């Protein structure tokens, strides 16, 4: 019959707890490294969103497109010759220099490292799920133009991209 001493059991639990804490600490330190890997200057491919809609002051612009990257909620919008990077979660919009974007058919290549430090002022930023469409509206500047993006949603309520 095996009899364990109470002190021996406590030491084992403490050792297991310490090892678990070290592992969790190391994993926690790795997470920022993964986030940093997206901004390391490597260009990634952004694909066009099928059936997306853009409205500029309640009218369709002559030339536009919406692109999505690997992460949900990060969009690249082309209006005429201008590119806007939209971070839906942070409710921020950035003006992107078109010279850093490479167009390849329906896709573009661009790096998150090229995001400017200061976003465009967007005092009226609204995101709303309206059934099969996620509608994102924002104003460019205090008294500027309104931009509306309509992203198609799947039956599960998640974007189709």
93 and 85 Cβ atoms separated by less than 8 Å: yes
Distance between CA 142 and CA 152 in Å, rounded? 28
Q: For residue 157, is it within any domain? A: no
Distance between CA 94 and CA 82 in Å, rounded? 11
Q: Does residue 99 share a domain with residue 76?
A: yes
- For 37-91, write each residue's pLDDT tens digit: 345 678 999 999 999 999 999 999 999 999 999 999 999 999 999 999 999 999 9
- For 87-136, write each residue's pLDDT tens digit: 999 999 999 999 999 999 999 999 999 999 999 999 999 999 988 999 99
Q: For residue 159, is it within any domain? A: no
Q: Does residue 69 share a domain with residue 29?
A: no
Confidence of residue 161 (pLDDT cuts 50, 70, 90): confident
Q: Residue 26 is encoded by which pair of tokens?
A: 């190391």
Confidence of residue 31 (pLDDT cuts 50, 70, 90): very low
State the residue range of the domain holding 15.
Answer: 1-37
Distance between CA 47 and CA 108 in Å, rounded? 7
**Total tally of structural domains belonging to the chain:** 2
State if pTM tops 0.75.
no
**Closest of 152, 138, 130 to residue 53, by C-alpha:** 152
């Amino acid at each position: 019959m095996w009899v364990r001493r109470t002190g021996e059991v406590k030491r084992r639990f403490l050792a297991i707890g310490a090892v678990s804490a070290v592992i969790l600490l190391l994993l926690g330190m790795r997470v920022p490294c993964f986030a940093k890997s997206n901004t390391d200057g490597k260009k990634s491919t952004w694909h066009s969103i099928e059936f997306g809609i853009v409205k500029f002051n309640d009218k369709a612009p002559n030339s536009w497109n919406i692109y999505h990257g690997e992460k949900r909620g990060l969009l690249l919008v082309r209006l005429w010759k201008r590119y806007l990077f939209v971070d839906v979660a942070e409710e921020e919009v950035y003006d992107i220099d078109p010279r850093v974007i490479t167009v390849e058919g329906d896709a573009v290549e661009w790096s998150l490292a090229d995001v400017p430090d200061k976003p465009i002022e967007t005092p009226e930023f609204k995101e709303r799920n309206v059934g099969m469409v996620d509608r994102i509206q924002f104003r460019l500047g205090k008294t500027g133009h309104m931009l509306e993006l309509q992203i198609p949603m799947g039956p599960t309520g998640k974007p189709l991209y």
